[in-house]
């Protein structure tokens, strides 16, 4: 039985709060929400389910978007047509990043932002993220390109930052000579 998550809209003040570190073990409720988020993010990237359940396509979600002030992010990355890697990172930290900057050419979107936002967000092309898995084991993930953007976007949520905060109001778009667009 599929049940849609209640994702907060950008107008919710709680999205601007800095989230607190999670203490292990995870609660049953947190584990249930993680499973639900993985299912919804996966379904949202498969056209048949996206239409069937009226989902907005998305590859990541942070617990603050569910109204929970906890440092948990979930990313479902389609690395090949119909094949997904699931990343659940608790208390994530970016421990290193590339000097090279990139931006999503089409701009970024967010499941909490129900409108089009014009502009590019400069992100690191590569990041290394450390944190913990659902069982409290330390993990390290190296992410590049679109996956790197997703990790930075979701970690921003944990710090009360929405992607459009990072768009330069005076110069919202980059050209290919300024930054690599992917």
Environment class of residue 62 by beta-carbon count within 10 Å: exposed (0-12), middle (13-18) or buried (19+)?
buried
H helices within 84-168, ranges in order?
A: 145-158
3-state secondary structure of 149: helix
Strand partners, 94: 129
Q: Round to whole Å and give the CA distance between 123 and 43.
A: 26
Choice among 78, 108, 134, 154 that is catalytic: 154
Q: Is 154 a catalytic residue?
A: yes
Q: How far apart are the first and last CA of the chain?
A: 36
- Nearest-angstrom CA–CA distance, 99 and 41: 30
Phi, psi for 173 (deg, rounded to 5): -120, 145
Q: Which residues are the active-site residues?
A: 154
């Amino acid at each position: 039985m599929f049940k849609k998550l209640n994702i907060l809209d950008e107008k919710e003040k709680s999205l601007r709060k800095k989230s607190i570190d999670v203490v292990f073990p995870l609660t049953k409720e947190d584990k249930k929400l993680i499973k639900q988020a993985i299912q919804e993010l996966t379904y949202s990237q498969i056209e048949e389910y996206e239409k069937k359940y009226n989902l907005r396509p998305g590859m990541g979600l942070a617990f603050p978007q569910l109204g929970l002030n906890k440092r948990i992010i979930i990313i479902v990355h389609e690395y090949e047509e119909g094949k997904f890697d699931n990343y659940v990172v608790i208390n994530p930290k970016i421990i290193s990043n590339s000097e090279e900057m990139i931006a999503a050419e089409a701009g970024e979107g967010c499941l909490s932002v129900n409108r089009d936002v014009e502009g590019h967000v400069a992100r690191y092309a590569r990041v290394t993220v450390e944190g913990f898995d659902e069982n409290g084991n330390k993990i390290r993930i190296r992410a590049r390109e679109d996956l790197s953007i997703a990790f930075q976007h979701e970690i921003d949520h944990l710090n009360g930052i929405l992607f459009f905060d990072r768009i330069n109001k005076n110069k919202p778009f980059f050209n290919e000579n300024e930054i690599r667009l992917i």
